[in-house]
A = this chain, B = another copy of it.
Amino acid sequence: MEHKLIRKKTRAIHIGKVKVGDLAPIIVQSMTCTDTRDVQATACQINVLADAGCEIVRVAVVDTVAAQAIAEIKKGITIPLIADIHFDYRLAIEAMKHGAHGIRINPGNIAKENLKEIIEIAKRDDIAIRIGINAGSLEKDLLEKYHKPTASALVESALRSVDFFEANGFRNLKLSLKSSDVLTTIESYRLIAKETDYPLHLGVTEAGSKIASAVKSSIGIGSLLQAGIGDTIRVSVTGDPLPEVEIAYSILRALGLRSVGVNIISCPTCGRCEIDLSALVAEVEKRLVGIKENFTVALMGCVVNGPGEASEADIGIAGGKGSGILFKKGKVIGKVMQNDFVETLMKHVDILRKEISAEATENSTPH
């Protein structure tokens, strides 16, 4: 790689068997939108997320029944689970007792005495805690001091909590400082990264629907990762969480930070395009979901410029009226009829995947 981002080294924590921080791969998280009390629906959604590459999942704990459901949910899933707690410290304790691998709280909303109780159990059971500072639920005195939830206000809130945890002998921490404002988010993490070496969980909160979130999260998370900041990320999307995982990996792939999944490049289509490229891209995208091998597929709308412009792709099609050209690693390898675009491409994707696996095996065999 020509451009290698230099990551800021943080201390490591573990959520279940997943390491976060200390230059471990940047971990992709998501959060369920099911009713946590519905064990089957929640476990099912977690498994769909895990199949797509989600490595840690968070569930909302609204009451004691939800906290107790964690023990059952865990039986049906393979990735670590974090319990998300608002306000009620008893739910944090209940969630830990029922096997949560980590909890997320906003300590500013919990009385000191109750926090100490949480800390004792987390210490005993070796459970990591995320201090989740959120612009929308800042302590009242900080809001008064800063007038609004500025980056400095978020940082002061986080450091205040960190101090309390450290004073109580607890360092198994991860921090997040989220705002729905992208620039405030970026500034907050930049500031806190200078102040502590705890692993950072990145995210822009209330980012909106798929496209809106893709924009805000890519700018917010993307800028920080480029600055070497961030150990785990969560993209927030309203509704079905599956796109959260897809967008997260797209961000990590674009920055060369995780080589997982297929990168599709496709021209924007212009007056030169003679095929329905949009439909072709949609169909191919669907067929490539869940593939873990990392390679680039090019789908180009014109035979003249296509193969040249996509010469860096591992495999691709440049479509013309009636027929197109199939190319692999910059070389034309055949002509394809329009009706066979998808099937022929997928056949060659399978061959490519086998080649990638064979190469990986060869590289891992001792000589």
Contact = CB atoms under 8 A, between A and B. Distances in A.
A33 interface: yes
A271 B62 contact: yes
Given A33-B269, A236-B268, A271-B62, A148 B219 contact: no
B298 A182 contact: no
A359 interface: no
Residue of A220, A237, A312 most packed against chain B (CB within 10 A): A312
A305 interface: yes
Interface stretch (A47-55, A167-175, A192-200, A273-281): A273-281
B271 A61 contact: yes
Interface stretch (A116-124, A129-137, A337-345): A129-137
B215 A244 contact: no
A152 B180 CA distance: 37
Contacts of A36: 271
A305 B136 contact: yes
A222 interface: yes
Interface in A32-58: 32-37, 42
A305 B271 CA distance: 49
A237 B268 contact: yes
A265 B210 CA distance: 12
Given A255-B219, A265-B208, A270 B33 contact: yes
A156 interface: no
A92 to B, nearest CB: 15
Contacts of A236: 267-268
B250 A211 contact: yes
A231 interface: no
A232 interface: no
Contacts of A308: 136-137
A26 B231 CA distance: 33
Interface of A: 2-3, 31-37, 42, 59-62, 66, 84, 86, 134-137, 148-151, 180-184, 187, 205-212, 214-216, 218-220, 222-223, 226, 236-241, 243-244, 246-247, 250-251, 254-256, 264-273, 277-278, 281-282, 285, 298-300, 304-305, 308-312
23 contacts: A33-B268, A33-B273, A35-B271, A86-B304, A136-B308, A136-B310, A183-B256, A207-B265, A208-B265, A209-B281, A211-B211, A211-B243, A212-B250, A214-B215, A215-B218, A215-B247, A218-B222, A219-B226, A223-B223, A236-B268, A238-B267, A238-B269, A238-B281
